[in-house]
Amino acid sequence: MTAGFLPGCYKNFPQETGESLPGYLLRLSHANGYDGIADLLRACTGVRKAGAAQMVHALRQSENDLKTMSRVAVGDDRHLVHHLGFAIIDGAIGLHNTRVDDDAWLAGRAQVCPRCLAARGFLLEEWDFALVTVCTEHGSLLLDECQECGGAITWNRSHPSHCEHCGADFRHANANAAQSAEVDVAGDFAAVAPFRFLGHGAEGLTQQWDAGFRIFKGLALNRRHWAAVEVPPKYLRDMSLSERHRVTQLLAQVRHDGSYHLPALAGHTETILEPLRSIPKPTAIRKHAMRIWQGELGIPRPLAEALSSSMPFSDEPPGHEVFQGRPPSFYSNEAVADFLGVSGPTVHALIKARKIAIPAMGEAFDIDELLGAQRFLSDGLLTPAELAMLLGIPLFGADDAGETGLPSWNPRNNSDRRIELRVVMEYHLQLLAKFDEHVPLAGMVSLGKLATRTTKPLDTLIRGVKVLLSGAVGSFAWSRPFRWADLLVPEDEANLISAGAQQACNTAIGQQE
């Protein structure tokens, strides 16, 4: 043993070019009689984590432990230091001068290419990425489960080529062929290099690898995440290969000449958010999609717009452009009311809703705020007629419109029965998150049908929605065109809605407040 060596391994060999760090550690541990990666690292370094994948992630961020492991393996403390990534506060690490999110690394599973494993005898670094689902050399799908027993392949195994559950040899497994475009997508992510995207304009946009990761993750989110406007920090890393490969297939369909045409992916977004089509505002889907793509995932606005709509957005120009550099000045509520074409109480309601700010003494109202208030009045409120379209049952006059149980946006004006779109959207999105698209429809009855059986159909429908959101009904479905009347409940639980279920309603109302 040379002076550079540290004890721990009696069989020493270097890491191969392109070899995975956990794959190398697994190969080293097996050759030296350890029971897997975790056993090796606990014996030879100061890394202490729950599982093998977590220990490797910690090792990447510790120069001292990488140097120690290098000396144990080959007697050269620089051998593995190229794997060192600088820590980033949000859980990502910097690798190859690129931000690599923690969720980009597989944790709950590992994956292999049988042919590569048989030919090379080691595991490739690109297989560590959750975003790589295809072998870029052989053009076949990777495997993340044993074909013999169906058990998941993980980093907790003790042999690089054998199943930890049944001992089957992965090198003898069969892998399905992938499309050439899918191989290209996998190659783009494996390269850890910038991506080129096409938005609504003719000019391509070059973005860092991290933008490609965020788009991949957004496409992998399920309906409930989209409804709740929630992006789990750790999601891809534990998904199965079949789930992740569906995203690879989506990206392969829009990849042409090395660029990704993002407006072609807007259809995926629109399909997930299809139930929002029943909201009688043409921009409902687009605006909600932007909350995810730009607001939660941090996709740059031009790319987020392309992912949210197949057609370009029409930007709202600022006041100085609308009025050709000479916007009018309004100093009183009355003047604002005349400009907006509304009543005085409506102006008060806009001020209370913080759509318009009261200017300082002697100053005019902000023209951009007034234009925003104008858009709010047209796009941010539902009229009784629009509400009836969403509910799926008619509203008979002002009394019915006032008995929806939904708060008027302008309570100071009893004749204004409009409802703020935001309030209705919250109900609609909760329904979108909770309905079960796989529940059998046999023996189900619609809320619309239940409502027509009563003397107060509107009251029954609204109560029914609140009961569903309270969780009092085990599971419910939703049929097209996704109005509230199209919600479906089991016939044997319909009495919860028809008979009142007041306790469930009170719970749901409290949650909304």
The sign of the torsion formed by the CA atoms of 467, 470, 473, 475 equals positive
CB-hemisphere CA count at 13 Å for 9?
A: 28
CA–CA gap between residue 37 and residue 54 (Å, rounded): 11
Characterize the bridge pairing of strands 259-261 and 195-198: parallel
- For 148, 250, 295, 306, the CA distances from 310, given in Å and listed in that order, are 44, 15, 19, 6
Question: Per the omega criterion (within 30 degrees of 0), is the bond before 22 cis?
Answer: no
Token pair of 235, please?
Answer: 């999601």
CA–CA gap between residue 106 and residue 126 (Å, rounded): 11
- For 34, 192, 334, the CA distances from 180, given in Å and listed in that order, are 40, 19, 66
pLDDT at 315 (0 to 100): 67
- Walk along the chain (513 residues) and give the pLDDT tens digit of each residue: 444 788 899 999 999 999 999 999 999 999 999 999 999 999 999 888 878 998 998 898 899 999 999 999 999 999 999 888 766 656 667 676 788 898 999 988 999 999 999 999 999 999 999 999 999 999 999 999 999 999 999 999 999 999 999 999 999 999 999 999 999 999 999 999 999 999 998 788 999 999 999 999 999 999 999 999 999 999 999 999 999 999 999 999 999 999 999 999 999 999 999 999 999 998 999 999 999 999 999 999 999 999 999 988 876 666 556 677 788 999 999 999 999 999 998 999 999 999 999 999 889 999 999 999 999 999 999 999 999 999 999 876 544 545 667 888 988 787 888 999 999 999 999 999 999 999 888 889 999 999 988 888 888 898 899 999 998 888 999 999 999 999 999 998 888 886 653 443 444 444 555
pLDDT at 91 (0 to 100): 63
Q: Are 368 and 355 a contacting pair, CB within 8 Å?
A: no
Segment (H or E) for 487: strand 487-490
The sign of the torsion formed by the CA atoms of 491, 493, 497, 500 equals positive
pLDDT at 331 (0 to 100): 94
Sheet of strand 487-490: strand arrangement = 444-446, 487-490, 477-478
Task: Say if residue 485 is exposed, middle or buried (CB neighbours under 10 Å; 0-12, 13-18, 19+).
Answer: buried
CA–CA gap between residue 7 and residue 71 (Å, rounded): 8
Q: Which value, to the nearest 10 degrees, does the dihedral of the CA atoms of residues 217, 222, 223, 226 take? A: -30
Q: Are 224 and 429 a contacting pair, CB within 8 Å?
A: no
pLDDT at 460 (0 to 100): 87
**HEC profile of 66-104:** HHHHHHHHHCCCCCCHHHCCEECCCCCEEECCEEECHHH
66 in the Ramachandran plot: left (φ > 0), alpha (ψ -120 to 50) or beta? alpha
- For 29, 218, 267, 401, the CA distances from 226, given in Å and listed in that order, are 42, 9, 14, 30
Q: Are 198 and 260 a contacting pair, CB within 8 Å?
A: yes
Give the residue carrying structure tokens 């370009």.
312
- For 263, 266, 387, 502, the CA distances from 508, given in Å and listed in that order, are 38, 33, 20, 10
pLDDT at 319 (0 to 100): 59
What single DSSP character describes residue 14? P
What residues does each domain of the chain span? 182-307, 319-382, 424-510
- CATH number 1.10.1660 given to 319-382: yes
- For 14, 44, 488, the CA distances from 41, given in Å and listed in that order, are 17, 5, 54
CA–CA gap between residue 510 and residue 500 (Å, rounded): 17
CA–CA gap between residue 238 and residue 108 (Å, rounded): 5
